[in-house]
Amino acid sequence: MPNVFQPDFRVPQTPGGPLAPHPLAAPEAPFSNPAITTADTHDYFTEVADDYRAWSPSYNMHFGFWRLGLNPLRREVMLVEMNRAVGRALKLDESGEPRLAQEASQRRRCVIDLGCGAGATARTLVGDDPSLYAVTVTNVAVQNSIAARLDARAGVADRMAHIEADYTRTGLPAAQADGAWAVESACYANGTAKADFVREAARLLKPGARLAVVDGFLLRRQPGRSAGWLHRLWADSWAVPTLAVQDDFVAALRDNGFEDIEVQSLRWRVAPSALHIPALATRFALVELWKARGRLSPWRRKHIVASYCALVLGIFWRDFDYCIVTAKRSG
């Protein structure tokens, strides 16, 4: 793959392969499921890769961001707006002097999507800003194949690089990224603090560069009985070890050299897109069951179950929130 970013920003081959166990993996929380492995996550996303097209033709594998002026019935518009909300959170053009801000907007800047799915967020941001180049990281080969096709269709293939690797040890060079994000992917790291994920993000970012994480978070280490059961059903169905506990995640950011940490609830911003789930999931399930003569594979069945659970989790306000967490790598 050609190097389109910086002279030393090379696409690596991760030692041990993308599914090799991490020797410093964080301990699991009491309510997490240690039986969920990286291999399970890989199998899940490989098996249901095409199913995400029902949610978004552009493979936006996340909830949407609603704001005034957007039609809440147009899901794809809200999904793309979430991508742009991530871009705004990175503050790539932020500078104290107009001259420096103008220079920053004219030079090449590299951003990294940690757990990219099919690269939809990167594709949106690169398409909006000709100065951006994006590296996306996933351990699922089929997602990179889908991403490459969509990149070509969008006309941004020359500014996108997709690598197959574990996002907690990418092998990419340190302190070269102008921004990084994880949209509904940090939850797949181990433990309630997601410390391995945070450590790698800190290593990749330049001093002063920002990380943006959009995800669901547990608000208590020990959720209520109903919320805990629902969280476990949702997580097992989407091959997630556990959601992060918000306080643990923020502490991991501080411990790894991040500052200016901000947590913003997006509960009401994502609600309009979440309300698309019942009709879409029901129609999808009926159509796919008919096509498969009632014999959907286990991960495809679980994918449908998790879709309903994701909506219901939102009613447990004391135990769960959907947030964007932003932080700046200290100098």
21: pLDDT strictly greater than 90: no
Query: Could you read off the pLDDT of 298-314 as tens digits, one per residue?
Result: 999 999 999 999 999 99
Phi-psi region of 249 (alpha: psi -120 to 50; beta: other; left: phi over 0): alpha
Per-residue model confidence (pLDDT) at position 82: 98
Of 20-29, 64-73, 141-150, 204-213, least confident by mean pLDDT is 20-29
Of 33-42, 68-77, 314-323, least confident by mean pLDDT is 33-42
Mean pLDDT of the chain: 89
Q: Are the C-beta atoms of residues 266 and 69 closer than 8 Å to each other?
A: no
> Which residues, listed in sequence order, are joined to residue 112 by a DSSP beta bridge?
135, 180
Per-residue model confidence (pLDDT) at position 242: 95
Is 3.40.50.150 the CATH number for 38-220+240-266+323-329?
yes
Calculate Rg over the CA atoms of the chain: 19
Mean pLDDT for the stretch of residues 200-212: 98
Q: Are the C-beta atoms of residues 319 and 224 closer than 8 Å to each other?
A: yes
Q: What is the pTM assigned to this prediction?
A: 0.89
pLDDT band at 93 (very low <50, low <70, confident <90, very high): confident
Chain CA centroid to CA 308, Å? 19
Query: What does the H/E/C string look like for 275-296?
Result: CCHHHHHHHHHHHHHHHCCCCC
Best CA proximity match to 18, nearest among 143, 120, 110, 119 = 143
Mean pLDDT for the stretch of residues 87-94: 92
Q: Are the C-beta atoms of residues 134 and 122 closer than 8 Å to each other?
A: yes
Mean pLDDT for the stretch of residues 188-213: 97
Best CA proximity match to 165, nearest among 9, 16, 6 = 16
Distance CA 124, CA 104 (A): 19
Best CA proximity match to 202, nearest among 175, 165, 227, 220 = 175
Distance CA 136, CA 176 (A): 14
> Which residues, listed in sequence order, are joined to residue 135 by a DSSP beta bridge?
112, 161
Comparing 142 with 26, the larger pLDDT belongs to: 142
Q: Are strands 258-265 and 320-329 parallel, antiparallel or unpaired?
A: antiparallel
Angle between helices 246-255 and 195-204 (to 10 degrees): 40
